[in-house]
Structure 1
Amino acid sequence: MDIDPSRSSRRILIVTDAWRPQINGVVRTLESLAAQLRSWGHEVSFLTPEPFWTVPVPTYPEIRLSLVSRRTVFHFMARTRAHHIHIATEGPLGLLARRYCLERDKAFTTSFHTRFPEYASARLPVPEEWSYGYLRWFHDPAAATMVPTLSLRDELLAHDFSHLTLWGRGVDGNRFRPGPKTMFTDLAGPHLLYVGRVSAEKNVTAFLDLDVPGSKIVVGDGPDRAHLERAHPDARFVGYLHGEALAAAYRSADVVVFPSRTDTFGNVVTEALASGTPVAAYPVTGPRDILTDQRAGTVSEDLAVAVRRSLTLRREDARALGEQFTWSASALQFLSALVPATLQQRRLTKAG
């Protein structure tokens, strides 16, 4: 649907359990989306864990769950008088926002960002299908569930999800841009870079175990960092980087390696491409949707083969592909999927 993003100002409420100080793709996506929407004159408000007491998720302390009452959430949502309600996550805030909409017969949309079934089964003896059952129940009353890639849409359809619509991602091409190499100059080349959480579900070990020439650099932190540093003393772990330091790290790498098999998109991939750095990844959801031009990156079940090939690619071609991902295009897709909160959907009143 063709829409003029600035035709009329909308009040949009986004509910998310993922928020600062977390550093992840969900938070970056929502912040970038809001900035684009506000630049068009829309009023975007957030219901986040920020004002509430939180507790850490067992085995995953970086993620914290809000301790919040039904009364508080319902009062906040009523006070916003939002034209559109979007529930981004399936945690405590998302659950209460969903309940508010169903009890008030408010139409809403949701989005699918994270493979919690796979993450949960890696830590706990919980069958993936049990978790997918919960997620189906959560998203089913939504007028639309937004997904970042066509591959993920097909996967969720196979798990019996419905009313799925595409909401792609963008990248800040001014912040992440080609330029001279200014970091890692004391390390032997080529420079192979991983950016992201250092945790089991990110499959960082597959990167560190690669038998390829060069230096391996890990930007990020997480529960697996300490033991991976001990197991791989030749790799350099630099922790989280932000702003210009992160952009410089991308520019200073010869290849960005994305070893995850469980991400739903992979903002790291588009940030690398925008920086003019080719990417090596497995042919899974996210990378195979982004790396559609083999001149910009390589997907292969043999990650070492992907790295070696990507080292031969031109940085100009990586940048050209990265320029295709914009936050304006992403925000337009988001706007087109929203529904008026006042839309009366009879099936919503029958959902649990």
Structure 2
Amino acid sequence: MNHGITRLIFLLMLLTTPAWAQPAGTIKQVSIHSTALAGNLVGDPADQTFAVYLPPSYETSTKRYPVVFLLHGIGDTNDVWIHHFNVPAMLDDLIASHTIKEMIVVMPNAKNRFMGSYYANSPITGRWEDFIAQEMVARVDHDFRTLATAESRGVAGLSMGGFGAIRLAMHRPDVFSVIYAISPCCLDAIEDIGYGNSASWNGLLRFKTYKDVDTAIKRGEFYPVAALGLLSAIDPDPAAPLHVKIPVQQVGHELMPREPEYTEFRNQFPLQQVSRFRENLCKLHALAIDYGFNDEFAHIPPSTAAFSKALSDAHIPHLLDTYVGDHRQQVQERLATKVFPFLSSNLKD
């Protein structure tokens, strides 16, 4: 073969063969029947699925890996991590560049009839905290090669998922030791989730049945349904209409707190419970929270800042990170540069 043809073949190979084939992780879809969710009053299924990212070396090694549970926000499903934020490809890149260690990432689904479960135990919507912290953890540890200790298990979440991560930190430090809450919602009952948001509460007060709620979702009425979902999760009353305590009332044309319901409602929020769960929070290996200054959910910046101050006042170690940005626009970049590196550096392997 003459040198000209040989050189042509070589050049074609250079053009058509990647210089470096990066190892890729895999996604497994797992089905699970939940005793914790069975018999809930809103009709959500006890049969659920969740996604699991296995790192590139998983199929060719016998090693065990730290685990991160990644909790989505209200209105989303766990698909948001895979198809919107591109988490599997992101993890592949971070692992290949040695920015993070190899880890298993578990992505539960927590969307329910009210758009979100808030990852809370409730006699109305089901025991979602138990589903995550007990049933799913046990299933993942059984089915996959995990490092099955709290020191090697973390949880991170966005918005409603951040709220869930913080509550898991408060309630389950024996299960999760490293926590990252991304723009956590609902840390206190102020502004857009407090009684001052007339659109939320007026819409909620019009609901008579769950069919009214279904209709509101179809019309795109986010806030009244989110308010009912939050009440169902953290302040339920199985004997009441809609199975919740209503913390506001209409007086003339004004909305006013209804007591003692409003005080009881506000006391369910993480900001009000820091001192109660201080011992558990101090057991964590690492805790981080963040928010963007331009978050369109107006309660998130002040309530997250207030929550951080309450942690500091209680001498609970944590990291608060703030940035210029809104609720979702920079999430992908922050997962890559802040969240996963924080989890990786603090989880035991």
User: Structure 1-normalised TM-score?
Assistant: 0.37
Bigger Rg, which one: 2
TM-score by length of 2: 0.37
